[in-house]
Structure 1
Amino acid sequence: MQFGFSTNAFREYHLEDAIEAIADAGYDGVELLFDEPHLYPPTATDEERERVEKALDWNGITVSNGNAFMLTAIEDFHHPSYIEPDQAYRRERIEYTLAALDTAADLGLPYISIEPGGPIPDDRSREWAMDTFVDGLESVIPKAERVGVDLLVEPEPDLLIETADEFLELIERVDSDRVKCNFDAGHFYCVGENPIDLIDPLWESTRHYHLEDIPADRSHEHTQLGDGAMEIDAFLTELENRGYEGFVTVELYPYEETPIETAREAMYYLEERGWA
């Protein structure tokens, strides 16, 4: 398998500098943050994309994933979501995703990761939220199919889709092979599931994995590899045993003050155990 590191830890850096630092740390790939201050699809220019491509080529590194989850350019990580009660506000997330698909296609990426609906509004039912999310997906699927880019729904604690079963329920309702899973091991651990046990049932749906450690109390805190309670070696062993050859991207966005050191320390953890 190959390892990447996400630039969402490098929001205090220019994207080209983040790419260089991640390559210097020894990673095979870099996850591009499709949000400000990096590459924001609704306003990204051809010149910006060309600079990214040159930085990738110059540093000899490829893209592990296009992260179209966070949306701080408009509000925050989770808003606007696909299930906002206000239709116009909800449409901003849809338009952003359509733009992200175009950017991914321009860069030759096979997929982007997206949020799993969003936080369920206090005055709305889960049934309404699921129906609304499915409607939202169905409004972007035609573009995904046209440009050949998969939409990787990423289950996350406290959002509409949290568990493996909820994800599987979702794809039963969506008639497109372009909707797949961005398997974040830490997220599943946070909601009381064992990520190792989920590799098999989600195998056919998963195109990309996120990895971080999580504290023993299962709080949703992305923690440096080895500093939490997850069975990281056992998880990677299961992927290796299944012959996984794609990307596992380390996602440690809370470490904005020390992203270079954090990326290097995570790589050291992987190298010390023979994974990289």
Structure 2
Amino acid sequence: MRLAFSTNAYMRFPFDEAAGRIAALGYEGLELMADVPHAWPAGLLDGTKQAIVRSMQRHGLRFSNVNAFMMNAIADHRQPYWYPSFIEPDEGYRRVRIDHTRRSLDLCAELGAPHITTEPGGPIAPGQSRQEAIDLFVEVLKPLAEHAEQRGVLLLIEPEPGLLLETTDQYLEVAERVNAPSLGLNFDVGHAYCMAEDLPTQIAKLAHLTKHYHVEDIAASRVHHHLVPGTGAIDFRGVFEAIRETGYDGWVTVELYPFVDDPDVAARQAMEHLRPLVETPAGAG
């Protein structure tokens, strides 16, 4: 396993400076935010894309993921990055999310990143049944999964508390109906903890579908607020042992977007807590 850090904690820094800081703290990889201010795909110039690649090379980093979940550029009044969602009742507004996802898949392929992560269907709208929302989500995902396959990248869905797919098990229903090799799961450990999922059990159960992990800590209250690993209630030693037992050897990205005031401190503390767990074989210590 390799540790990466998401640039969504570095929204107050230009990309090159964010990459330099992340690399200096010992991370091997970086999750690129396909959003303002780093890489909003709509209108992103070739020169900017090339500068991102050069910056990654200069700092010795690799892409762990492209985060296409957040859409701060839209700044919807209901919530700054969940909206617009894949299940918006308004077809035109729904298209904004769809087009953003397609552009993010293109960007992912151009940059040589392995996959994008995206939202699991926004909150169910008033008057919209859960089944209607699921049906719409599946309908929207099928052509996007096909586009991802054509571009040679993966489209990963990230279950989140309060949205259409809240748990890792709920992802299964959608995955089976879309039935595309380019569709995968972004297993967010903190989100699963919020939903009181048994982490080792679900990590093992979903291992064949999980292509990337997000980690952050969560308080014992299970309230969805990202904390620095080691400052909440999640047993990360158990989590990393469970991941290791599946044979997973890919990226684990630390996602701490609430810490924009001092991302370096949060990133350093996370590294100090997680690096020994990544490097320690299962059962050791």
Are positions 1:245 and 2:249 aligned together? Answer: yes
Instruction: Give me the whole-angstrom Cα distance separating, in 2, the residues matched to 1:206 and 1:273.
Output: 20
- Name the residue aligned to 1:53: 53
- Name the residue aligned to 1:32: 32
Residue 2 of structure 1, CA deviation: 0.3
- Name the residue aligned to 1:119: 123
**TM-score when normalising by structure 2:** 0.94
- Shift in CA distance, 274/247, structure 1 to aligned 2, threshold 3 Å: closer
Alignment of structure 1 residues 50-129 onto 2, 5 Å: 50-75=50-75, 76-129=80-133
- Name the residue aligned to 2:224: 220
Residue 241 of structure 1, CA deviation: 2.7
Amino acid at match of 1:160: L
User: Which stretches in structure 1 are left out of the alignment for 5+ residues?
Assistant: none
- Name the residue aligned to 2:188: 184
Instruction: Give me the whole-angstrom Cα distance separating, in 2, the residues matched to 1:134 and 1:253.
Output: 28
Instruction: Give me the whole-angstrom Cα distance separating, in 1, the residues matched to 2:36 and 2:195.
Output: 29
Alignment of structure 1 residues 140-155 onto 2, 5 Å: 140-155=144-159
Question: 2:11·2:37 contact (CA, 8 Å) conserved in 1?
Answer: yes
- Shift in CA distance, 90/269, structure 1 to aligned 2, threshold 3 Å: same
- Name the residue aligned to 1:264: 268
SS of residue paired to 2:147: helix
SS of residue paired to 1:4: strand
Deviations 1:29-72 (A, max 9, x none): 00000001110111211111111111110011101111000011
Instruction: Give me the whole-angstrom Cα distance separating, in 1, the residues matched to 2:145 and 2:275.
Output: 39
Amino acid at match of 1:101: L
- Name the residue aligned to 1:5: 5
- Name the residue aligned to 2:16: 16
**TM-score when normalising by structure 1:** 0.97
Instruction: Give me the whole-angstrom Cα distance separating, in 2, the residues matched to 1:183 and 1:33.
Output: 18
Amino acid at match of 2:59: N
Identity of aligned residues (%): 43
- Count matched residues: 276
- Name the residue aligned to 1:162: 166
User: Deviating runs (4+, > 6 A) in structure 1?
Assistant: none
Deviations 1:90-133 (A, max 9, x none): 00000001100110000111210010011111221101110111
Amino acid at match of 2:228: Q
Instruction: Give me the whole-angstrom Cα distance separating, in 2, the residues matched to 1:220 and 1:38.
Output: 25
Question: 2:2·2:278 contact (CA, 8 Å) conserved in 1?
Answer: no
Residue 200 of structure 1, CA deviation: 1.4
Instruction: Give me the whole-angstrom Cα distance separating, in 1, the residues matched to 2:172 and 2:56.
Output: 35
SS of residue paired to 2:166: coil
- Name the residue aligned to 2:283: none
Instruction: Give me the whole-angstrom Cα distance separating, in 1, the residues matched to 2:278 and 2:101.
Output: 37
- Name the residue aligned to 2:239: 235
Instruction: Give me the whole-angstrom Cα distance separating, in 1, the residues matched to 2:256 and 2:172.
Output: 26
Are positions 1:254 and 2:258 aligned together? Answer: yes
Instruction: Give me the whole-angstrom Cα distance separating, in 1, the residues matched to 2:28 and 2:208.
Output: 23
- Is 233-242 or 48-57 further displaced after alignment? 233-242
CA RMSD of the aligned region, Å?
A: 1.2
Deviations 1:202-261 (A, max 9, x none): 111110000010000000010011110011111001222333210000101100001011
Instruction: Give me the whole-angstrom Cα distance separating, in 2, the residues matched to 1:272 and 1:3.
Output: 11
Residue 275 of structure 1, CA deviation: 3.3
Instruction: Give me the whole-angstrom Cα distance separating, in 1, the residues matched to 2:168 and 2:278.
Output: 29
- Is 246-255 or 259-268 further displaced after alignment? 259-268
Amino acid at match of 1:21: R
SS of residue paired to 2:49: helix
- Name the residue aligned to 2:176: 172
Instruction: Give me the whole-angstrom Cα distance separating, in 1, the residues matched to 2:249 and 2:42.
Output: 32
